[in-house]
Amino acid sequence: MAASGKIVQNVFVAQCCQRNRQLDTQFTMRNSLPFQARKLAWTGFSAMQLRSLASYQSGPGNRGTVYCNAVPATSAAPHLEKVDFKKLQNGSDIRGVAVAGVEGEPVNLTEPVTEAIAAGFAAWLLDKKKIDASKRLRVSIGHDSRISAQSLQDAVSRGLAGAGLEVVQYGLASTPAMFNSTLSEDEEFICPVDGSIMITASHLPYNRNGFKFFTNAGGLGKADIKDILERAANIYANFSVESLKYSEQAASASVKRVDYMSVYTSGLVKAVRKAAGNIEKPLEGFHIVVDAGNGAGGFFAAKVLEPLGAITSGSQFLEPDGLFPNHIPNPEDKAAMKAITQAVLDNKADLGIIFDTDVDRSAAVDSAGREFNRNRLIALMSAIVLEEHPGTTIVTDSVTSDGLTTFIEKKLGGKHHRFKRGYKNVIDEAIRLNSVGEESHLAIETSGHGALRENHWLDDGAYLMVKLLNKLASAQASGSAGGSKVLTDLVEGLEEPAVATELRFKIDQNHTDLKGGSFRDYGEAVLKHLENTIDSDPKLQKAPVNYEGVRVSGYGGWFLLRLSLHDPVLPLNIEAPSSEDAVKLGLAVLSAVKDFSALDTSALDKFVQAS
């Protein structure tokens, strides 16, 4: 991290850690049921759970070691603001503002809020696991490179430890590694854990942060997050300055620190070696550059590629820096893709790999600078998976192209099942298809989230890249090495549109047209009207099977207008063989929605005029 970045980070931590101390000390305390009951009263645990916890926590001589990395606090007493916990839900994640100072956004992910959320997860986990007196639940915590990560990790630790759970801090980690820790059985690294929390806000601005939760069954869903936040709100309502001071000074469970990333990365290395016939350095001679965007993915160069024999010189932005000074860590971002493309060309590399902040998404670039992201990445992964599982169904999100469908079904002999936006929606749909007898081995979004059945349906950007490395390694082992052309050849024949764009129509929630109703109701009314309008236009045809919004073909291309999963926005995707055809599709939409005054269609107006 640059010196200026360190200064900003230190200033921030000093300002926001309102009650942490630089402890790194040990304390001894004797647990008893009354002690635990006092501590857990505000967490909403049942009397039965309290008795069960007490049976393994109580007893003479119990000792706990609690560590805290935060710098000295500026204030000993936290200020408890009123918080709407429901607004922290972002689908199957929790996200909020952790740092003040960006566009005047109020901070709603404070340390007390975080502590309450962790305690809410603990209560949820205890209910799900149905613990008995012989077992003590263990939860791992990891975080990406954000500047608020350390203070939130400590707050999560207090919430979990105060609820009687054993806490294992992994420090800087990737989201996929956190899920993997619920499956791993390496006891040297305190595995497996019963639950896992990743502190991340993916590619959002540096002032945001949030949480993803896992058990060995996978990532938690929307209903689970809603449940946890409801528990957290009740817990938070009973907080006081005294109880928070108490939780800081008297956490009953020991907090341990473990380098779990070494376990996770060794698994990736073994996977590539196995694919190449157990060759020690199957990537020897390949030059591969990595762009981690100053997120958590810098490990991939030194811990995965180099042990496999690859040259990684020219890799960039590997150092964690939560201010993201070079570009947004996001494989969908044009500036980010330009950065990794330029690195590949400048270094004459065989392949470039780029990750998002927490490494659950990725993309690649071949030696000629051709990007493998969005539809191309899906096509490439589909080609690899369909070689291994002929005829399988590939599940994608709703905005994938018609050309991709043709490629999967006509060229590869698979089946394309286009579903809803949202990586969890796509993954859950693939799981559902398998449960009803339709084989599916890949669920992947245009955003770069990709999950494979063989990898426990975990959306793991590093594992996706391992699948590409497997192709390079096996080609080299068989004597048919050709650099990244091995990968480029796999997507030969993919039809790509001349024009592809996404435009966003914002819904003014204060407009009189909403009449006090929700933006969702208004958005659904827009879509219904568009659907009725399309029925009367012989040049346009609705998609016969569609799970989200209104998808229409015409003029050699297609458009999809849908309602955003979380925001008062109707995104419009258009793909067409020419600008003229794209404009015709855009005008068809514009004509249908023109009377909806609360809808801001200025982006489409500009697109039509510019084309």
Q: For residue 94, give every residue at least 6 positions away whose Cβ sits within 8 Å of its Cβ, in sequence order, or none.
A: 88, 117, 210, 211, 212, 225, 228, 229
Calculate the CA dihedral of residues 444, 375, 319, 110 and round it to 10 degrees. Answer: -50
- CA–CA dist 92, 83 (Å, integer): 19
CB atoms within 10 A of CB 329: 27
The one-letter code for the residue type at 153 is Q
Sign of dihedral through CA atoms 112, 115, 120, 123? negative
Query: Any idea of the CA torsion for 385, 388, 390, 396, to the nearest 10 degrees?
Result: -10
Place of tokens 């639950």: 195
Q: Report the alpha-carbon distance of residue 454 to residue 443 in Å, rounded.
A: 11
Residue 498 CA to residue 283 CA, distance in Å, equals: 36
Structural contact between residues 566 and 91, judged by C-beta atoms closer than 8 angstroms: yes
Give backbone dihedrals phi and psi of 218, rounded to 5 degrees, phi first: 120, -165
Q: Spot the catalytic one: 148, 202, 315, 484.
A: 202
Dist CA 167 CA 257 (whole Å): 9
* Catalytic-residue membership of 202: yes
Can you name the residues that pair with 542 across neighbouring β-strands?
Answer: 552
CA distances to 197, 208, 233, 578, 596 from 87, rounded to whole Å, are 19, 14, 11, 41, 27
Active site (catalytic) residues: 202
